[in-house]
């Protein structure tokens, strides 16, 4: 059985559905990396558009909402139907990029230079964990996977509860404030988001070893992008909390 991933888009069932695939083209790590770069390029292109519009004074709120809703709908379709990944992942990246660019521009307007810091930190974390995984300093054991999965699910539930309670004017203590406890919570979430990268690396590697169909390269790139976007946003929020204390 291929190991589980804390990332909800990458799980055992994703490859279980391809078990009886009879095609000749198979998933490779190199192919997945190439698809990930293509997806990232599209995401950055979409982000540049909404970023530029924000600093020109245009109203980007419709793009934020549209990007968020469109990305969510597409992510659900891709998750439940991986065969659609080659066609929908590039579109998802564009929606996500538009959303991400507008959000990043808003943070940049409040804290000069924060998006560059968040981007560099995200890249450094990605490279460090990739090296740690390749050299087996960090191993994706079953207990490790279960721990990260449980922590990720817990964070998702807290965010969901915060969103629901927010509609009734109730704020979850410490989650969004810049107190030392709030910063500590953000650090914990950043760590869990980063550890999901290890599970994604392991999942993609095992998928290639098991001979998953070629379209799963796009699916693997999609799952990796979901984790990277989450990690970037959490680092952005953490830096904003720290900057607001100055």
The tens digit of pLDDT for each residue in 78-126 reads 999 999 999 999 999 999 999 999 999 999 999 999 999 999 999 999 9
Mean pLDDT (the chain, rounded): 87
Mean pLDDT of 29-33: 92
Q: For residues 66 and 61, give the distance between their C-alpha atoms in angstroms, rounded to a whole number.
A: 8
pLDDT for 8 equals 54
- Neighbour-count burial of 83, counting CB atoms closer than 10 A to its CB (0-12 exposed, 13-18 middle, 19+ buried): middle
pLDDT at 224: 93
Q: Which residues on neighbouring strands pair with residue 173, listed in sequence order?
A: none
231 close to 197: Cβ distance less than 8 angstroms? yes
Closest CA to 231 of 241, 219, 239: 239
Taking the C-alpha atoms of residue 7 and residue 145, their distance in angstroms, rounded to an integer, is 10
Per mean pLDDT, which range of 19-33, 70-84, 157-171 is the poorest?
19-33
Let me know how long the chain is: 246
Q: How do residues 162-212 score in pLDDT, each as one tens digit?
A: 888 888 888 888 888 888 998 999 999 999 999 999 999 998 998 888 888
């Amino acid at each position: 059985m291929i190991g589980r991933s804390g990332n909800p888009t990458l799980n055992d069932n994703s490859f279980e559905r391809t078990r009886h695939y009879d095609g000749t083209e198979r998933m490779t790590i190199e192919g997945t990396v190439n698809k990930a770069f293509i997806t990232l390029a599209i995401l950055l292109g979409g982000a540049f558009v909404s970023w530029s519009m924000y600093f020109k004074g245009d109203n980007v709120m419709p793009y934020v909402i549209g990007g968020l809703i469109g990305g969510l709908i597409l992510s659900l379709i891709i998750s439940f139907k991986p065969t659609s990944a080659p066609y929908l992942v590039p579109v998802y990246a564009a929606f996500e990029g538009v959303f991400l660019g507008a959000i990043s521009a808003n943070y940049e307007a409040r804290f000069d230079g924060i998006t560059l810091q968040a981007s560099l930190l995200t890249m450094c974390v990605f490279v460090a964990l990739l090296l740690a995984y390749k050299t087996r300093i960090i191993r994706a054991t079953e207990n490790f996977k279960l721990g990260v999965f449980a922590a990720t699910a817990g964070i998702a539930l807290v965010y969901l509860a915060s969103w629901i309670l927010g509609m009734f004017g109730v704020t979850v203590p410490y989650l969004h404030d810049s107190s030392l406890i709030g910063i500590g919570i953000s650090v914990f979430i950043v760590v869990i988001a980063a550890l999901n990268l290890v599970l994604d690396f392991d999942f993609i590697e095992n998928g290639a070893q098991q001979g998953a169909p070629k379209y799963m390269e796009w699916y693997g790139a999609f799952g990796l992008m979901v984790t990277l976007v989450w990690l970037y946003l959490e680092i952005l929020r953490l830096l904003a909390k720290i900057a607001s204390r100055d």
